[in-house]
Structure 1
Amino acid sequence: MADTDVLRARFARALEGARGPGGGPDPAPYADNLLGRWREPQRHYHTLAHLTAVLDRVDTLEEHADDPDVVRLAAWFHDAVYLPDRSENEERSARLAERALSEAGVPAERTSEVARLVRLTVTHDPADDDRNGQVLCDADLAVLASPPSAYAAYTAAVREEYHFVPNDVFREGRADVLRRLLGLPHLFRTPHGQEHWEATARYNLRGELEMLSTPAMPPA
């Protein structure tokens, strides 16, 4: 389980870095609100463990970002609103970021950048010159390069979040997502991601797609 005290401190550092001189309100209530959202019962993959993993990967990739603290805040907000049966989660998360960060004293330009990055996670397809977007998207997608057992746990958790979707519908939808990802020229845009994650992620995606494309066996 993620250490919430450590996460609160990480949020405070990112918020203070993004606010710059002058400060603002106490970061703790904002951190606690977000932590409560990431603990909601409908989440099985999009949990505090996922948030922590994304933040860790942003730390790994921070040299490739133009504004690492803004990317860290975008990681905090990118799935802050998450209802599996809704299609506008990213937009609602971005609007939450706009409201909260403005109130918390983050300058308008940086608040807008956080919201833009959150919206970018709809496609995970940043522009070639979008260094902040490349870091956030790579950090979010790095789970695709997990070892076999961790990848299997990831796919099982995603399926559990969509437990209300019939199997055939889920398989078709998930296969479409995998094909779209495999169709990208690069899954990862940072040099680190391309070197360390790209090949393994594509191997995992192709394996999952092959499994989803295999007709289910009828019950005995």
Structure 2
Amino acid sequence: MPLTTEQHQELTAEWHALCAQLGLAGTAATGVGDALIHAWSRWPRRYHDATHLLACIRHWRGIVAQCGDPHAVALALWFHDAVYWPWSKTNERRSADWARRFILGSGLPPERAQDLAARVDRYVMATQHHDGELHGDERWVVDIDLAILGQPPDVYDAFEQGVRREYRWVPQAAYVAGRGKVLRSFLERPRLYATDWFHERLEAPARANLELALASLQSQQG
């Protein structure tokens, strides 16, 4: 869904504020922010788009005080799907590489830049959502990315429809099988959210949404 003018302004303001807090205000940082918003708005995105980015930033605002390094978390959210082609298996790696190039070339003191780049790289790669233990601020980045799972049913349904449109080129039978495998993999986890904050608020509705979505897919197999 394209950004409204107000949403675009909100994202732009958030990027400028983040860069100012990092000491990166300037035309170069502004240009990267514009490039990021453009990248997030490209075809064939229908869920992993700029509205998802904005939702992530809004979630971040609510937990910023609980992050060890909130700037690293925010940067990871900005970059985590900056490169996104549904058929590619290298989206996270290429997104993390973009983040690393930006940070290392930002003019920050070298030690700070190296540390920040390493953190953001790790956090972006964590959004591959492999089943495994998360540590530190990785937990916030991944939980924010997965917050859509615990939204009201109509919002979650729109998410599923958006994902299907992103994979419009996949035959229905193959999509049902593949998407069903993804949904089951989430449901089989002991918990969906690593942080207690998200677990307490979204775990139950997320599991209900996933169960309904899986049942709907299974009905399509018949």
Quick check: TM above 0.5?
yes
Give 1:67 shift.
0.7
Give the Cα–Cα distance (whole angstroms) in 1 for the partners of residues 10 and 91 of structure 2: 26
Q: What's the offset of the Cα at 1:85? A: 1.3
SS in 1 for 2:100: helix
* Partner residue, 2:44: 42
Whole-angstrom distance in 2 between the partners of 1:67 and 1:74: 11
Deviations 1:163-190 (CA, angstroms, capped at 9, x unpaired): 0000011111111111111122111122
SS in 1 for 2:43: coil
TM-score w.r.t. the length of structure 2 is 0.90
- More moved, 35-44 vs 59-68: 59-68
Using a 3 Å threshold, how does the CA distance of structure 1 residues 179 and 100 change in structure 2: closer, same or farther?
Answer: same
Structure 1: give runs of 5+ residues left out of the alignment. none
Pick the aligned partner of 2:106 from 95, 104, 107: 104
Please tell me the residue identity of whatever aligns with 1:204: N
Query: 1:4 aligned to 2:45?
Result: no
What 5-or-longer segments of structure 2 have no aligned partner? none
CA distance in 1, matches of 2:131, 2:71: 21
Match of 1:114 in 2: 120
* Aligned equivalents of 2:213, 2:152: Cα separation in 1: 13
Identity across the alignment (%)? 34
Q: Is the CA contact (8 Å cut-off) linking 2:77 and 2:141 kept in structure 1?
A: yes
Point out which structure has higher relative CO (alpha carbons under 8 A, 6+ apart): 1
The match for 1:72 is: 74
Aligned partners of 1:172 and 1:138: how far apart in 2? 25
> Which residue in 2 is equivalent to 1:81?
83
Higher mean alpha-carbon deviation, 119-128 vs 75-84, is at 119-128
Provide Cα deviations, 1:126-157, integer angstroms capped at 9, x if missing partner.
Answer: 635x2311111111101001111111111000
Q: RMSD of the alignment, in Å?
A: 1.7
Alignment-derived partner of residue 93 in structure 1 = 95
Runs of 4+ in 1 over 6 A off after TM superposition: none
Instruction: Say whether the 8 Å CA contact 1:74–1:114 is kept in structure 2.
Output: yes
Taking a change above 3 Å as real, the CA distance of residues 83 and 94 of structure 1, as seen in their structure-2 partners, is: same
How many equivalent pairs are there?
213
Q: State yes or no: 1:171 paired with 2:173.
A: no
